Amino acid sequence: MNGAEQGPVKVQFKAVGRDRREWMWKARDESNTITISGQRFESLSDAVRDARMQITGEDDAPDDDGPAVA
């Protein structure tokens, strides 16, 4: 999903696993291209960090454990 002229991307985070204690994410852009996390994460903040890195290609966001506000 890395593109020079990319529009908005919607990311959905979902609790998974037997006890819903792991997290996965999926993202969809304007062209309905879907990217799904290839692994489960122990915390929501880890899932958010991975999604941000996979979608933007950058991992320089502050560790605020919360989603970025546009």
Q: How far apart are CA 15 and CA 69, in angstroms?
A: 22
Residue 64 lies in a domain: no
pLDDT of residue 66: 60
Q: How many CB atoms lie within 10 A of CB 24?
A: 19
What's the whole-model pTM score? 0.67
Give the Cα separation of 23 and 1 in Å (integer): 20
Question: Do the domain assignments include residue 36?
Answer: yes
Helix, strand or coil, per DSSP, at residue 54: helix
Residue 4 lies in a domain: no
- Predicted confidence at residue 38, as pLDDT, reads 87
Q: Which residues on adjacent β-strands are paired with residue 14? A: 24
* In-domain check, residue 20: yes
Count the domains in the chain.
1
Tell me if 67 is assigned to some domain: no
Q: Which parts of the chain register pLDDT below 50?
A: none
Is 29 contained in some domain? yes
Q: Does residue 31 form part of some domain?
A: yes
Domain boundaries, position 42: 9-56
